[in-house]
Structure 1
């Protein structure tokens, strides 16, 4: 049985009532509710059950009096006719003969609520090139849906937006990006138009067991990067220090703080800084996360110099309720902030690579406030502590070159900025393919160990 919504390819104003449709089928009336489950299993095994996506085969009895008693029916495949025993299978016939079921006519009714977004759109848009007439990919952030409408979708954008609001859980607003990210602002924001609902850009999202509130029109948030955030955070260990240079509202910093990782998180956008501070308090990670609002180049060097001066020891939770002996033991297990960052995150794909020169001579005396002798002495006294890992995000071409060539292309760009050769074969170097961002554009995360020659370079 093929179940499809009604078709009206001239509809340009959404008529939800139009999508109500009925089918005449048959159903097995269950005389005793204790027989519902075994009867359903028998009919499913025999192939007599009506199997439809998102439709339960067990329904209320169409007789109002029986329905009031809680009686049920099981819908049967459409080839079975209630008044033609020759269409019944042996299992159904046996159940009927044993007095466990009756076979009755039944009207299956499906309305607008049943059909999916794609079901609705494919039933009201022209058949030719239909897949290009409505957005099949979109991002939902809280109550807000973000679409990118192409030229072929322009005539139907309000129609598709209204269906999206109806079909996406908790959605109330649909917006369409009308310029490229960063065109109207240096802070990766964009202009948009409202296609459905009210213009309400204030959203709340949950990621990495943390809650964030933000104004989607004023800060950058990409829901498609949740896996990437958790992938990188998994590399951080409790008690390490991480420098998040372009932190946004804290999708790396706040969950990392939950892991008892010390994070110095910075963003140039004052609104990102505002919402990151709020997220720090809301998620109770203030002991581990410090927030800043400055230029990334300056932050890399200043944070590196200031970290060693910021001595901080965080006892484990609940120490105030412990006995003196337990308290002393807890203090011995307290988390102490180290004087050297183990990781630097630079998540600004369009330009982060251009910030890499800030790492040249990071540990020499030309970095104001930093004592080069301290760094050399520290690494000598702690042979298990390595120079920090750099995680820099960037864009690269997708179709023009093979995967190995893409990695080599990214490494060449890094090498140019550091004036030191980094290759895909460099130990601990990883060029991770994060995601496709456009037909000919990929996003990568390049991770590599800061070379000693770069970190201590003079001149």
Structure 2
């Protein structure tokens, strides 16, 4: 509330007043557009009457800015500078500045002027004048603008979150938002400078395409889905309409990659365009990377070369069911042939005496960097299998039966090598109890033919039959994506192949 006549507002009163006023004037105008109507940006202009302290000399601006900020009489609002040019064009041209004041300070009501302002007036260092602050369309956030445009019943789930692939924003709008899809897309395009294209999915991923591609419509911007992305220090180029990519999985990619150690072998059964494989290759991890989608395979090959990991990452275009055994056999055969990667790189410079110029007498040239050679022999066994096809990957685990038939000598206790860790992504019920864990273990048991149970697996020891389930992300109100990690049971790995 405003100060009583003849009194000076306290700091707490001023703060409360400012918070209350900001709740109103920092809201955009209500611009309810009918379904299918075009976005009229001019309707979002809002003018706010404020007071401003007109500073007589630039020498005292810093002093009064600090003093008014301390007394909480200065306007403090995100993305609005409190220092502005004098509204009088002639004085503004001369460089005169004003400090915008808290809305509770009224230019025409001296009783609302605090001690700092009154002191400045007495010293003839400032005056209090009216100031009209203009907030235009560019000021309002995407959420502000959507709440202004959309009817109140749609405010609970404003489509502010979306998947991003390079310059493309990928929406998955609910039916209730479809009448406003063009306006929503225009706002997203306006408020995100890096976005050049906004699309909306018109079917369910995987419902019509085994490669998880989808039908889409361009809602705003260019019809261009050839994108470039960077993730985990790797560059990816691809046609977003032909391959699968989800930027919301970056944390999960990073989490899984953190398990891999240099010199190990990873079999990426559903590799896509390489979000696991390429960063692993940069870690000096051998990767057999496979994807059944010819377009993904094409991009994978190109991105392997682009990121210079061809020594460690090998691309394949096979059905995942057969590739699990194919990769196991090929890795063993290649290791027995002695395949390895040798990397030669410059070592650290040694200290040397040198002068500023080579022509100076007594100049000693800096010695060349010594070369360091790193050798990575290909191991005979695979340390990790990654299966990132959540809709059906669990159904593939039956292919692990017998992958190391008659090869017990490759593993502990004969050697120090443990059986592979398997990371299987899947969908299950969204719940806070153990129902998703139990469901996932029951499905693994069905396809592995070995009893699996929830457990906190130790990634360095053999947790026989134990499954660690990590909640990756929610994908629907009652559905989540999980990653089930388990060490391949010996009874499965060493069984007779079908």
- What is the TM-score normalised by the length of structure 1? 0.90
Q: CA deviation at 1:219?
A: 0.4
Q: Does 1:317 align with 2:345?
A: yes
Q: Shift of residue 8 of structure 1?
A: 2.8
Are residues 96 and 338 of structure 1, via their aligned partners in 2, closer, same or farther at CA, if it must alter by over 3 Å? farther
Structure with higher Rg: it is: 2
- On the 8 A contact 1:134/1:160 being kept in 2, the answer is no
Question: What is the TM-score with the length of structure 2 in the denominator?
Answer: 0.84
Task: After TM superposition, give the deviation of residue 253 of structure 1 in Å.
Answer: 0.9
Query: Residue 126 of structure 1: which of 151, 156, 166 is its match?
Result: 151
1:5 pairs, out of 25, 28, 38, with 28
Mark the CA change 1:303 to 1:320 in structure 2 (over 3 Å): closer, same or farther. Answer: farther
How far, CA to CA, are the matches of 1:99 and 1:380 in structure 2?
Answer: 89
- Matches of 1:314 and 1:39 in 2, distance apart? 66
Report how many aligned residue pairs link the two structures: 444
> Of 416, 423, 433, which residue of structure 2 is paired with 1:391?
423
- Contact kept in structure 2, 1:173 and 1:198, CA below 8 Å: yes
Q: Give 3-state SS (helix, strand or coil) of 2:454's partner.
A: coil
- Say if 2:291 is the partner of 1:259: no
- Does residue 345 (structure 1) correspond to residue 379 (structure 2)? The answer is no
Post-superposition Cα deviations, 1:194-230, rounded to whole Å, max 9, x if no partner, equal: 1112321111111111111111110000111111111
Residue 435 of structure 2 is aligned to residue 410 of structure 1? no
CA distance in structure 2 between the partners assigned to 1:325 and 1:118 by the alignment = 56
State the secondary structure of the residue aligned to 2:138: coil
Please state whether the residue corresponding to 2:139 is helix, strand or coil: coil
- Deviation of 1:43 (Å): 1.2
Cα shift readout 1:134-185 (whole Å, capped 9, x = no counterpart): 5243222222111112221121111111111111222122111111112222
How far, CA to CA, are the matches of 1:235 and 1:82 in structure 2?
Answer: 64
User: Structure 1's 410 and 64: CA in aligned 2 closer, same or farther, altered over 3 A?
Assistant: same
Shift of 1:456: 0.5
- The aligned counterpart of 1:434 is 472
State the superposition RMSD in angstroms. Answer: 2.3
Aligned pair 1:104/2:129, yes or no?
yes
SS in 1 for 2:249: helix
| Whole-angstrom distance in 2 between the partners of 1:287 and 1:99 | 75
Evaluate the alpha carbon distance shift between residue 320 and residue 268 of structure 1 in structure 2; reply closer, same or farther with a 3 A threshold: farther
- Checking the alignment, whether the CA contact within 8 Å between 1:316 and 1:335 is kept in structure 2 is no
Indicate which of 204, 222, 227 corresponds to 1:198.
222
> Is the counterpart of residue 421 in structure 1 residue 446 in structure 2?
no
Q: 1:378 to 1:434 in 2, by over 3 A?
A: closer
Structure 1 residues 390 and 92: CA distance shift in structure 2, 3 A: same
Q: Tell me, which stretches of 5 or more residues in structure 2 are unaligned?
A: 1-20, 351-366, 459-466
* Other-structure match for 1:153: 177
In structure 1, C-alpha distance between the alignment counterparts of 2:331 and 2:95, rounded to whole Å: 69
- Whether the 8 Å CA contact 1:390–1:448 is kept in 2: the answer is yes
Contact 1:260 1:288 in 2 (8 A): yes
CA contact under 8 A between 2:205 and 2:213: conserved in structure 1?
A: yes
Rounded to whole Å, the distance in 1 between the matches of 2:263 and 2:42 is 59
Partner residue of 2:362?
none
Say which of 72, 75, 78 aligns to 1:47.
Answer: 72
1:31 Cα deviation (Å)?
A: 3.6
Aligned counterparts, 1:26-175, within 5 A: 26-127=51-152, 129-131=153-155, 135-175=159-199
The offset of 1:282, in angstroms, is 1.6
Cα displacement (A) at 1:274: 1.1
Q: How big is the shift at 1:309?
A: 3.1
The whole-number CA distance in structure 2 between the counterparts of 1:67 and 1:76 is 18
